[in-house]
């Protein structure tokens, strides 16, 4: 990792303050330490905290109240991480430590990983969260929804536990600045194989209906939809979808799923002062698709934590089965892949929560397949591979 200047470390120690001697996150960011210095500084603090069991596990970043809990084990990364949103405006990442001495536990690594603050060194409100491999590099990226006069912040996963705030560079900052966002989700709405982004909004103060402050959009707000331009950037096109997106609402929950099994993802939205909304996806001439429905063994029947990889030509797409999504919501646990013009998937591979894998080649597109995780062992593994098979679609909803 290289040498670290002892004088730099000593200067950084001076910004330690607050509860339990924890560092002040904003002061540390303003000091612009080198990566080596920051690693040493945070490591010192975490080591001292583990020796003192009286120190609260969330003291490093002052995280008192947690809103949403997410589990992630990135494809092939072998790390278990929890993404926790703090109601006071800090985003915390905790990595599971499996050691005999500790007996398992968690440590705060938000500042170290680059997710405690935005690119400007400021904490944000943190309402909803969406996790997905938006840049197609095989690991999962994070986006968080926030209050007005902040942005919905995209953290790209750089690997080895580090993230970069790429919100402005990807075209997501300016369009979201005036909105208070809650439900948020990655969705390939046209099956072109690229993840787009949907966000639902609504302020927290009803008084905003009477008086707008600065650039705020008011109490009731429209929805946002960011189309992936396939060049690493996004374009906000929500208004082009008509009244379903332009109608002013106070929205909170957002869940995505294929309600009528036609291969196009639909949307369910929970509102305050209004009935739930169901937005039926009627995109014309969408691409081909694959919907994978996993069933795990034993008590893990939902296969939560399983990672599905679909290889189409030179592209590799990955999805994780997870419970708890967006903001106070649960999405369809079947995993959707847009295939664009591809008629088949060259390889569908599943890495199950126990670490075993199964897969099948040459899977025809525009259908739903099921995968069963049976037992460990060569014979059972072969059965599990064959278990990726056709399954009749359920009757349409409604």
> 308 pairs with which residues across the strands?
319, 350
Give the model's confidence band at 10: pLDDT under 50 very low, under 70 low, under 90 confident, else very high.
low
Average pLDDT, integer, range 372-382? 33
* The predicted structure's pLDDT at residue 6: 58
Average pLDDT, integer, range 3-19? 53
Token readout for 310 is 């679909």
* The predicted structure's pLDDT at residue 5: 56
User: Between the CA of residue 161 and those of 73, 104, 396, what are the distances in Å?
Assistant: 11, 18, 42
Give the model's confidence band at 298: pLDDT under 50 very low, under 70 low, under 90 confident, else very high.
confident
* pLDDT exceeds cutoff 60 at 348: yes
**DSSP strand pairing (288-295 vs 367-372):** parallel
131: which residues sit within 8 A by CB, 6+ positions away?
70, 72, 83, 140, 141, 142, 186, 320, 322
Tell me if 316 sits within 8 A of 309, measured CB to CB. yes
Average pLDDT, integer, range 55-66? 29
Q: Which of 44-58, 67-81, 112-126 has the lowest mean pLDDT?
A: 67-81
3-state secondary structure of 20: helix
Which of 126-135, 180-189, 198-207 has the highest average model confidence (pLDDT)?
Answer: 180-189
186: which residues sit within 8 A by CB, 6+ positions away?
130, 131, 132, 134, 143, 195, 196, 197
How many residues are given for the chain? Answer: 398
* pLDDT exceeds cutoff 60 at 340: yes
* CB-based burial, 70-85: b 16+ in 10 Å, e otherwise: bbbbbbebeebbebbb
User: Between the CA of residue 300 and those of 57, 294, 304, 352, what are the distances in Å?
Assistant: 29, 11, 7, 10
Q: Comparing 137 with 367, which gets the higher pLDDT?
A: 137
- Burial zone of 90 (CB within 10 Å; 0-12 exposed, 13-18 middle, 19+ buried): buried
Look up the pTM and report it. Answer: 0.73
Tell me if 81 sits within 8 A of 94, measured CB to CB. yes
Share of the chain above pLDDT 70, in %: 64
Token readout for 66 is 């947690």
* pLDDT exceeds cutoff 80 at 297: no
Give the model's confidence band at 385: pLDDT under 50 very low, under 70 low, under 90 confident, else very high.
very low
Tell me if 384 sits within 8 A of 297, measured CB to CB. no
* The predicted structure's pLDDT at residue 334: 92
* The predicted structure's pLDDT at residue 13: 59
């Amino acid at each position: 990792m290289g040498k670290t200047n002892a004088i730099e470390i000593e200067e950084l120690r001076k910004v330690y303050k607050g509860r339990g001697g924890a560092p002040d996150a904003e002061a540390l960011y303003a000091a612009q330490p080198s990566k080596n210095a920051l690693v040493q500084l945070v490591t010192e603090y975490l080591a001292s905290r583990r020796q003192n069991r009286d120190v609260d596990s969330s003291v490093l970043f002052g995280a008192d109240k947690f809103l949403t809990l997410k589990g992630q084990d990135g494809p092939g990364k072998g790390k278990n991480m929890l993404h926790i949103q703090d109601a006071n405006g800090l985003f915390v990442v905790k990595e599971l430590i499996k050691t005999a001495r500790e007996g398992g536990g968690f440590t705060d690594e938000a500042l170290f990983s680059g997710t405690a603050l935005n690119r400007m060194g400021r904490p944000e409100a943190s309402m909803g969260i969406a996790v997905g491999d938006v840049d197609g590099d095989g690991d999962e990226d994070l986006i968080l929804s926030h209050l007005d006069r902040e942005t919905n912040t995209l953290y790209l996963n750089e690997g080895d536990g580090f993230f970069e705030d790429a919100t402005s560079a990807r075209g997501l900052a300016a369009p979201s600045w005036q909105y208070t966002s809650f439900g948020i989700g990655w969705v390939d709405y046209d099956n072109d194989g690229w993840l787009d982004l949907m966000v639902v909004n609504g302020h927290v103060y009803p008084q905003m209906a009477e008086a707008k402050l600065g650039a705020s959009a008011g109490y009731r707000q429209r929805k946002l939809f960011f189309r992936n331009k396939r060049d690493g950037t996004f374009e906000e096109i929500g208004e082009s979808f008509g009244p379903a997106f332009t109608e002013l609402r106070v929205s909170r929950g957002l869940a995505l799923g294929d309600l009528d099994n036609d291969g196009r993802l639909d949307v369910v939205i929970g509102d305050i002062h209004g009935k739930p909304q169901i937005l039926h996806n009627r995109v014309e001439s969408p691409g081909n698709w694959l919907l994978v429905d996993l069933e795990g063994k034993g008590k893990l029947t939902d296969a939560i934590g399983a990672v599905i990889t679909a290889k189409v030509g030179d592209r590799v797409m990955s999805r994780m089965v997870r419970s708890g999504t967006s903001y106070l919501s649960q999405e369809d646990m079947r995993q959707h892949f847009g295939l664009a013009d591809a008629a088949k998937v060259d390889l569908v591979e599943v890495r199950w929560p126990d670490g075993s894998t199964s897969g099948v080649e040459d899977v025809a597109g525009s259908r739903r397949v099921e995968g069963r995780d049976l037992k460990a062992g060569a014979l059972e593994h072969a059965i599990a591979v064959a278990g990726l098979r056709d399954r009749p679609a359920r009757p349409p909803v409604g």
